[in-house]
Structure 1
Amino acid sequence: MRLVPIILCGGVGSRLWPVSRDHHPKPFIRLADGQSMLQKAFLRGAALPDVEDILVVTNRELFFKADDEFREVNQDRRALSFILEPCGRNTAAAIAAATLQVAAAHGPDALLLVLAADHLIADQAAFGKAVGDAAALAQQGNLVTFGITPETPETGYGYIEAEGSKVLRFVEKPSLDKAQQYLASGRFLWNSGMFCFSAGAMLQAMQEHCPAILDATRTCIAQSRMAEGKGVRQLDLDPELFAQVPDDSIDYAVMEKSDRVAVVPCNIGWNDIGSWTALGNLAEPDGSGNRVEGEALLHDVTNCYIKAGKRIVGAVGIENLVIVDTPDALLVADKARAQDVKHLYAKLKEQGHDSHRLHLTVHRPWGTYTVLEEGPNFKIKRIVVKPGASLSLQMHHHRSEHWIVVSGMARVVNDQDELFVRTNESTFIRAGHRHRLENPGVLDLVMIEVQSGEYLGEDDIVRFDDVYGRCV
């Protein structure tokens, strides 16, 4: 039996703003043990028997960030493949693309195990048993979902009504009264959003129930670019063709219509971390019910979750609040209204505010940059370039740049000149000059960049050559 875990790494996680943002979504949030939810999803799949390779479906803007995450934990150098989406088209398109790829690589009998990148599962042994049960059902031609034994009348999850392994129906997120009835009946399970099926069974079901999605995805893949290198394969989906794939969830497109759907009821310590309250509950409470990450001073504070960043957070005389501090945004919310944080994200997006997209520290294929200060006609950044990495050969129309090396050594192309800039040395890049920055060493290159000019937007860039394929 060939089992291929499929990790779906999409979405934003708007209810976990200001830590979760478009270019740093929920799966990349680091937990108290230092691992991200995406890394935990990878390790969860890699620990299963009969797994030789893992396939990740994510936005192309997140590829290098995700690849860095996996390199930290992929000690066995397990084969890794990516399907890179130019835009989100929901889970049916993502699963169609993954299924077509697995069928082409391993045949129609290969089993896909679809996992979300932003779930936590506390009991790996129980999870392994549930996957084994699901695989047995999938080998019989079933499309299998995982149903979580409910503990409370939760209104934030969809439900599955079942008799044994037979699915009777799927139910949308219910009212509290309905959820209480479901819990009391003993016939309902939480819909986890995880699936197991053979490639052939899913392709047959899609051909029957959502042929437009399957055909459009197949057409897109045929015209898309495949690249391979350094143990990683990536399928870069064609933007124009992928935008034509109908937008639908796998639940609506297939699972609710098929008569071959089975469920594995399980109790695996599952948590989809849908709010700051849920994330805060992972931390141990103090004697007053407070859960604190980072440095905080509390006086007469009860039942609060406080996540401090680089600054110390002080709180006096409050209760039942969520406080999350980041370098450029502060969230204060009533615990009972934690789900409504998504409205703040929506307003920021509507206003075009950068804090819905980016943190002050932004990840790039070559490393990171952090905005330290900015004002009229100037911006100061801290730039870290990974060993052996290089920025694109580029030019800016409206800004000049002064580079000061803090540590390491830089190889710099500055118009017609090529030079090495060492620690405590600097160079000046005039507007309109072609330039490139490279780290030829084995340690991180750390620099301070001072930009000056009438326009300092990140879109003022013309790329002439780029090792990461970002020239347009």
Structure 2
Amino acid sequence: MILPVIMAGGTGSRLWPLSRELYPKQFLTVTGNESMLQQTVARLSKIEHSAPVLICNEEHRFIAAEQMRLGGYEHGGIILEPVGRNTAPAIALAALQAGKNASDGEDPILLVLAADHIIENEKAFTASIEKALPFAENGQLVTFGIVPTAPETGYGYIKSGNKVNDAFSVSEFVEKPDLSTAEAYMESGNYFWNSGMFLFKASRYLEELAKFAPDILDVCKRAIATPSQDFEFVRVDKGIFATCPDNSVDYTVMEKSQDVVVVPMDAGWSDVGSFSALWEISVKDENQNAIKGDVITVNSNNNYIYAQNKLVSTVGVDNLVIIETKDAILVAHKDKVQDVKSVVEQLKSTGRSECKVHREVYRPWGMYDSIDHGKRDHVKRITVKPGEKLSIQKHHHRSEHWIVVSGTASVLNGDKTILVTENESTYIPLGTIHALENPGKIPLEMIEIQTGSYLGEDDIVRFEDRYGRV
């Protein structure tokens, strides 16, 4: 049985400001009506498989779980990486956990996928996996090579060797080339783009990892030896896992193993690594503009324009990327979008929050939108999902005024619990233990006005929390 392993990590730098450190691109809806994570799970529907395992950052856990729930997709657990250590350790954790959960004598075949890829031809995707399955069942390690459509300099390449039925032996893995080298690769017909997707038995991956990187395997074994189960999340030992080398699966295993084959895949694949790549796969108007949101264009061509909150209008501009979000605007030439990460680096170096979070921030109980900031005040619009509850907490530096816009709030305020409904309000004095819950059947919408000397999100003392955040 195939066990999909979906790697849902990322830093959110290449598609900033749409993506952020706490909301990377796999959670974005860039094509269709579902996020890239949801699309990754949905395209498995034609393959016989067990419930997929997700691997994600500790800080992304609730977003990943909520998107799976909203999409109606089951999963076999979400393994949380306490710190990022690249793909080789991440896959090792999944392989070790899969071995623990397997029935006696079963050796799961792991289909390793990234959560932030777009694949337009799902039939071709499924066909490539079916062709790869006999090789994996035979103990070989399969990587999927994308049939190149252009001399792309942003991808690594795989040089194919001898043909073996529906696959090729691997002659070599090569790094991202310059343009002239990429053009030579295209002309030769012997090179594929390196997709970062794999198929192999869990045991075979661990055997090869033990051969080429026993230190990684040892750390991962110890880190997941006694995992803690928190709802649907599998937590590994942070102190142990932090000592693991930071290496990719390609560098650690695939480039060194003598048992690797590459199966071609011609499925309209993109890793959406930049806004220019996003423009390529988007639906365009008669002037080759890819538009999302409230946009008016005049004499403008070949642009990618995304308007999240405001009307965006252009006159006489070509080959631009224009991104408008509630708290940031990006204007870049399409040929320079690889440098967007430099903006993110500047934001980080100056300690600005725009590199990390959106104005809208998602929480396991719902979300909040930071409407306005002052030196001693902060206004939020808070949405609490039906049946959900924020932690029992207090603040040392701020008081809060809550105004219910719609729905009903059950409010713990000191030693009293009261119901607050539409057009009603309550006041939480500084230092008072309090909690907010939505006991109703519709979302609770409310305005929170914070006042005080310090308004940071870290001014929270939690006493009880149903989401394990105490």
- Name the TM tier (shorter chain): over 0.9
1:153 aligns with 151
**1:33-44 paired onto structure 2 within 5 Å:** 33-44=32-43
Correspondent of 1:70 among 62, 68, 85 = 68
The alpha carbon displacement at 1:308 in A equals 0.9
* Structure 1 counterpart of 2:266: 267
Q: 1:58 aligns with which of 52, 56, 59?
A: 56
- Match for residue 198 of structure 2? 195
Question: 1:109 maps to what in 2?
Answer: 107
Of the three residues 139, 142, 155, the one matched with 1:141 is 139
1:128 and 2:131 correspond: no
Q: Quick one: which amino acid aligns to residue 114 of structure 1?
A: V
CA–CA distance in structure 2, aligned partners of residues 320 and 50 of structure 1 = 43
Is 1:4 the equivalent of 2:7? no
What SS is found at the alignment partner of 1:129? helix
State the distance in 2 between where 1:457 and 1:272 align: 35
Is the partner of 2:436 in helix, strand or coil?
A: strand
State the shift of 1:191 in Å: 0.3
**Partner secondary structure for residue 143 of structure 2:** strand
Tell me which stretches of 4 or more aligned residues in structure 1 moved more than 4 Å.
Answer: none
CA contact 2:17–2:329 (8 Å) conserved in 1: yes
Q: Deviations over 1:220-266 (max 9, x none)?
A: 001431234xxxx3211222111111111111111111111111012
How far residue 32 of structure 1 moved from its aligned partner, in angstroms, is 4.1
The one of 73, 76, 85 equivalent to 1:89 is 85
Matched, 1:462 2:458: no
Q: Residue 453 in 1 paired to residue 452 in 2?
A: yes
Residue identity opposite 1:275 in structure 2: S
User: For the Cα contact (< 8 Å) 1:108–1:199, is it kept in 2?
Assistant: no
- Percent identity between the aligned chains? 47
Q: Which amino acid aligns with 1:145?
A: T
CA distance in 1, matches of 2:229, 2:186: 47
RMSD across aligned C-alpha pairs, in angstroms? Answer: 1.2
What residue number does 2:314 align with? 315
CA distance in 2, matches of 1:299, 1:120: 30
8 A contact 1:108–1:198 mirrored in 2: no
What code does the residue aligned with 2:206 have? L
**Equivalents in 2 of 1:11, 1:284: separation in Å?**
26
For the Cα contact (< 8 Å) 2:12–2:22, is it kept in 1? Answer: no
The answer as to whether partners of 2:68 and 2:74 remain within 8 angstroms in 1 is no
2:176 counterpart of 1:184: no
Instruction: Encode CA deviations 1:346-388: one digit per residue, 9 max, x unaligned.
Output: 1111211100000000001110010011111001000000111
Distance 2:50 2:305 in 1: 40
- Structure-2 separation of matches of 1:155 and 1:189: 12
| SS state at 1:138 partner | helix
Say yes or no: does 1:426 pair with 2:425: yes
User: For the residues of structure 2 that align with 1:419 and 1:436, how far apart are their CA atoms?
Assistant: 11
Partner of 2:220: 217
1:279-294 equivalent positions in 2, closer than 5 A: 279-294=278-293
Q: Distance in 2 between matches of 1:283 and 1:176?
A: 24
Q: For 1:56 and 1:100, how far apart are their aligned partners in 2?
A: 14
Instruction: Give the letter aligned to residue 26 of structure 1.
Output: K
1:80 to 2:76 alignment:
yes
Structure 2 SS opposite 1:15: coil
Aligned twin of 2:170:
167
* Cα shift readout 1:75-118 (whole Å, capped 9, x = no counterpart): xx534311011111100110000000111212562100000000
For structure 1, which runs of at least 5 residues remain unmatched after alignment? none
Q: Is contact 1:52-1:78 (8 Å) kept?
A: no
TM-score by length of 1: 0.96
**Alpha-carbon distance between aligned partners in 1 of 2:422 and 2:284, rounded to the nearest angstrom:** 46
Matching residue's letter, 1:207 = A
Unaligned runs of 5+ in 2: none
| Larger deviation, residues 25-34 vs 118-127 | 25-34
Contact 2:12–2:25 (8 Å) recurs in 1: yes
Q: Secondary structure at the match of 1:204?
A: helix
CA distance in 2, matches of 1:470, 1:372: 25
Q: Secondary structure at the match of 1:118?
A: coil
